[in-house]
């Protein structure tokens, strides 16, 4: 039997670990790659996680070595226990992500055990697990990672959260701007959390869609042609009148100007009306992912 070494990440590991991370990313979404700089940045801090990242007080990255090669890696976080931290994170620890070669089950198990030992040593009474790699659309435990799911389950983690469905459409297949579906309806492009396309009746907002065209964050490669729907809302009395389709038509035209070719949105399995609406516009399922893994302690 080949010996397995579990040790802290070294800077010289960066290329091998990035390659392993990218194997997992590209199983979720095609033609997106994480750069070495993006991975190294996440190991130090995550400025794009403006709310949660300041709560982190300690980080640890471990790798598993077999036959002189990195076959698994994991990134751990420890959260502060002071009152500025949200209750669900206060004093908690998390496996931010764990990646493992498909044929390195023993090394993956050894790495998971080392992660548990590290989190136990931190003394946290809550231990979480996730798969939030530094790439857009990659979080939770995606359905294309059954080997990671099995590692988490063997380590005692249980899925307690939601299943999320990621849907993707070709922007060229989305509606083109049409006549307003309601009399006197006008489009107004403003700023929201992301660029916002609002349907207005005078100064009254009927609905809006917000599109994030910076899904890659910083230091990521090959994501310029992807965007996602940050928010889509139509007030209840004006639903099923074509307002949402009209808004998405204008947003799609905007994306075409920027040569964005793919648009992603999100839904839960129980949101049947929302899934049907997006399917009618040409969205199809990209992946399902399970969020909210927690280890029960003592």
User: Residue 2 pLDDT more than 90?
Assistant: no
Sheet holding 186-191, edge to edge: 141-142, 284-290, 163-170, 262-267, 226-234, 204-212, 195-201, 186-191
Give the residue carrying structure tokens 């929201």.
192
User: Residue 53 pLDDT more than 80?
Assistant: yes
Q: What is residue 219's predicted lDDT score, i.e. its pLDDT?
A: 47
Confidence label for 298 from pLDDT (cuts 50, 70 and 90): low
Q: Does residue 220 or residue 159 have the better pLDDT?
A: 159
What tokens were used for 42?
């996440």
Strands (E), the chain: 4-8, 33-34, 56-66, 69-79, 93-100, 127-129, 141-142, 157-159, 163-170, 186-191, 195-201, 204-212, 220-221, 226-234, 262-267, 284-290, 293-295
Instruction: Return d(Cα 270, Cα 25) in angstroms, integer.
Output: 26
Q: How does pLDDT run across 215-274, given as a tens digit for each residue?
A: 865 445 456 689 999 999 999 999 999 999 999 999 999 999 999 999 999 999 999 999
What residue ranges define each of the domains in the chain, with the CATH number in brackets? Answer: 4-159 (3.40.630.30), 168-288 (3.40.630.30)
Phi, psi (deg, nearest 5) at residue 215? -65, -20
Q: How does pLDDT run across 272-294, given as a tens digit for each residue?
A: 999 999 999 999 999 999 999 99
Closest CA to 96 of 120, 122, 121, 115: 115
Q: What is residue 217's predicted lDDT score, i.e. its pLDDT?
A: 58
User: Residue 105 pLDDT more than 70?
Assistant: yes
Q: What is residue 50's predicted lDDT score, i.e. its pLDDT?
A: 74
**Mean pLDDT of all residues in the chain?**
94
User: Residue 47 pLDDT more than 90?
Assistant: no
> What is the rounded average pLDDT of the residues 201-215?
94
Q: What is residue 220's predicted lDDT score, i.e. its pLDDT?
A: 54
CB 244 within 8 A of CB 253: no
Coil, strand or helix at 152: helix
Q: What is residue 200's predicted lDDT score, i.e. its pLDDT?
A: 97
Confidence label for 296 from pLDDT (cuts 50, 70 and 90): confident
Taking every pair of C-alpha atoms in the chain, what is the biggest distance, in angstroms?
74
Looking at the DSSP bridge assignments, the partners of residue 13 are none
Coil, strand or helix at 75: strand
């Amino acid at each position: 039997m080949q010996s397995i070494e579990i040790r802290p990440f070294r800077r010289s590991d960066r290329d091998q670990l990035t390659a392993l991370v990218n194997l997992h990313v590209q199983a979720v979404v095609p033609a997106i790659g994480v750069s070495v700089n993006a991975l190294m940045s996440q190991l130090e801090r995550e400025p794009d996680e403006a709310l949660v990242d300041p709560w982190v007080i300690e980080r640890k990255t471990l790798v598993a070595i077999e036959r002189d090669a990195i076959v698994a890696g994991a990134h751990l976080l420890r959260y502060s226990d002071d009152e500025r931290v949200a209750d669900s994170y206060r004093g908690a620890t998390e496996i931010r992500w764990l990646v493992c070669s498909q044929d390195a089950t023993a090394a993956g198990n050894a790495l998971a055990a080392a992660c548990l030992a590290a989190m136990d040593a931190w003394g946290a009474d809550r231990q979480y697990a996730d798969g939030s790699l530094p790439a857009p659309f990659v979080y939770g435990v995606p359905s294309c990672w059954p080997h990671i799911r099995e590692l988490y389950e063997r380590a005692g983690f249980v899925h307690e959260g939601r299943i999320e469905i990621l849907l993707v459409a070709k922007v060229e297949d989305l509606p083109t701007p049409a006549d307003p579906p309601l009399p006197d309806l006008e489009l107004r492009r403003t700023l929201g959390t992301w660029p916002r396309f609002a349907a207005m009746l005078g100064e009254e907002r009927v609905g809006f869609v917000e599109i994030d065209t910076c899904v890659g964050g910083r230091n990521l490669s090959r994501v310029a042609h992807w965007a996602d729907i940050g928010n889509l809302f139509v007030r209840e009395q004006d639903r099923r009148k074509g307002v949402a389709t009209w808004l998405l038509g204008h947003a799609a035209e905007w994306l075409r100007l920027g040569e964005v070719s793919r648009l992603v949105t999100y839904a839960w399995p129980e949101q049947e009306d929302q899934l049907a609406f997006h399917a009618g516009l040409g969205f199809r399922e990209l992946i399902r992912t399970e969020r909210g893994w927690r280890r029960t302690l003592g």
